[in-house]
Amino acid sequence: MKRWLLIGVLALLGLAWAQQRGGSITIAIQTEPAAWDPTQVAGADISRVVYDNVLQGLVKRNPKGEIVPSLATRWVVSNSGLTYTFTLRQGVKFHDGSDFTAQDVLAKFNRARNPDTRASGHLRPDLYRDIANITSPNPNTVVFSLRQPNNDFLFILSRPESLIGPRQRPLAEQRVQPIGTGPFRFAAWERGVAVRLERNPNYYLQGLPYLDRVNFRFLGDGDAQLAGLRAGDLDVIAYSLLPENAVVLSRDSNFKVFSGSGTAEAVAGFNNSRPPFNDVRVRRAITLATNKDELIQGAMLGYGTKIGSMRSPGEACYVDLSNFNAYNPDEARRLLAEAGFTNQNPLRFTFNLAAEFPYERRIGEAMVAQLNKLGPLQVTIQVTDFNTWIQRVFSQADYAMTIIGHVEANDIGNYANPRYYWRYNSPRFQQLFTQYLRAPNQTKACEALAAAQRLLAEDAAGVWVMSLPALGAYRARVQNWPDGFLSPGISVAEVWVRP
């Protein structure tokens, strides 16, 4: 036993010694964002690059989804849940050499909560509505006073919108070349090609980062990504690796394929306000006619996790409802007949797909094939580009059914918004969600959130087909790649390469 312990310790030490400083890697991501400041422009790919690599907030979500210290070293929440006191890390500098101070924090969150977005240039002031005021009693401390308790408050502070830049920095410059406190500084943005990050030599955590340079290459074509990885032009395919390419790479010892559950749910959503989808029997029937296991196996070659409500297994307060309303075509036909739809008089509707998303598109096409096999359903597919989808489906709710991946963590609250494109208006759900937000403690908060997940499933407010896999691959020389997918960013501070 003792000997094993010793060997274990030595092995760990060996790992620690082996970590090499220097070198660079190139990581492929799918799309090129419009800009790089998540407080001004939204997009999952912005966060993937800059979150915790370039820009940091008071707290951050690590790859396992835990909220941990970042620019604040600790915090205290008052018993009332109304006061959050943060102790700031000392001696931190922004990449431009200026000091990070409490004044930057105050300026940032006063800008964030300003309802006049035209003046502030800041997205989503609604997130910060509950902040009554922010003060700094001394240079090391920042105090947030809330109007009412909000269980999501720390989570909100861990969101990409809450990242902090220098208060003097003009917004237009921060958009194209963000300055932050992270382990890497934003060196260059080659439009259409890549973003280059370089080591921040003054990073406050000793010995980090290991890499000198990190390139994020925009490469949307899955086959081109695979070719680049095999030829050595790319070191990592960060996400959205095509399942068939994952199978090929997993047989090759030169590459490591990683797959896990992230925070993205593939939601086949109904327009709940439009007949017949305002009838719970019809929604349940469509859920019962969907064979999720077959979709995971067939469309995604086994990559993906079955779910039954708007939450992924890695998220807090998750309730496993994956076998709720499980595949049952006979019951589906019975319910449809009750609602007046039979083989002779089928329910006809259009299913909208956005062309740009390889996973959702396959899943959607396979799901429509399943629905059409049932008999009383006649579904046609309409594929458009994402921008058209946003306008028609998302902004105007001019659709019957659609499928899209909802990447954000903790986004079940969208069902509490009756104006959201699902047009789901359930006073009971809204009440449960408010209960969760205002709960006096974590246990009560989870109880409310569990009830909310169940209610959605019973209401069949959507078909939650699967938690989409965080699926990617890297060359064997890449070490210490983050082994969790519950952070908005791809944190590369501790990644190193074997020479």
Partner 1 sequence: MFAYTLRRLGLALVTLWLATLLVFGALLLIPGNPAQAILGIEATPADLEALEARLGLDKPPLERYISWLGGVLRGDLGQSIRYERPISELIVARLGITLPIVVASLLLATILAVPLGILAARKAGSPIDLGVSVASLLGIVLPSFWVGLMFIYIFIVWLKLPLPTSFPIGGWENPERALAALVLPVLTVALASASFLVRLVRGSVLEVLSQDFIRTARAKGLAERVVLYKHALRNAALPVVTVLGLEFASLLIATVVVETVFGIPGLGSLSLTAISARDYPLVQGVVLVIAAFIVLMNLLVDLLYGLLDPRVSYA
- Helical segments of 236-357, H only: 243-250, 280-288, 292-300, 329-338
388 near partner 1 (CB under 8 A): yes
Strand 24-29 with 236-237, pairing? parallel
For residue 342, the tally of other CB atoms under 10 A from its CB is: 13
Residues with Cβ within 8 Å of 382's Cβ and at least 6 positions away in sequence, in order, are 350, 351, 352, 353
Q: Does 316 bind partner 1 (CB under 8 A)?
A: no
User: In Å, what is the CA distance from 166 to each residue of 53, 178, 262?
Assistant: 16, 9, 31
Question: Between residues 123 and 154, which has the closer beta carbon with respect to partner 1?
Answer: 123
Report yes or no: 161 and 123 within 8 Å, Cβ to Cβ: yes
312 near partner 1, judged by CB under 8 A: no
Q: In whole angstroms, give the CA distance from residue 344 to residue 73.
A: 66
Is residue 224 a contact point for partner 1 (CB under 8 A)? yes
Compute the distance between CA of residue 412 and CA of residue 308 in angstroms, rounded to an integer.
13
Q: Which is nearer to partner 1, 194 or 457 (CB)?
A: 194
Output the CA angle 32-409-279, nearest 5 degrees: 105
Tell me the window of 29-37, 337-345, 470-478, 479-487 that interacts with partner 1 (CB under 8 A).
29-37
Residue 348 has φ and ψ, to the nearest 5°, of: -105, 130
Q: Closer to partner 1 at the Cβ: 9 or 176?
A: 176
CB of 263 to partner 1, least distance (A): 14
Q: Write down the least CB distance from residue 249 to partner 1, Å.
A: 13
Task: Please identify which residue in 89, 95, 185, 217 interacts with partner 1, judged by CB under 8 A.
Answer: 217
CB of 408 to partner 1, least distance (A): 7
Nearest-approach distance from CB 35 to partner 1, in angstroms:
7
Between helix 292-300 and helix 358-374 the angle, nearest 10°, is: 130
The least distance separating partner 1 from the CB of residue 92, rounded to whole angstroms, comes to 29
Q: Tell which positions 402-421 bind partner 1, by CB under 8 A.
A: 404, 408
Mask for 332-371, x = binds partner 1 (CB under 8 A): ------------------------x---------------
| Site size for partner 1 (CB under 8 A) | 50
Rounded to an integer, what distance in angstroms lies between the CA atom of residue 236 and that of residue 3? Answer: 37
Residues that bind partner 1 (CB under 8 A): 26, 32, 34-35, 41-44, 115, 117-118, 121, 123-126, 172, 175-176, 190-194, 196, 215, 217, 219-221, 223-224, 227-228, 230-231, 233, 356, 384-388, 390-392, 394-395, 404, 408
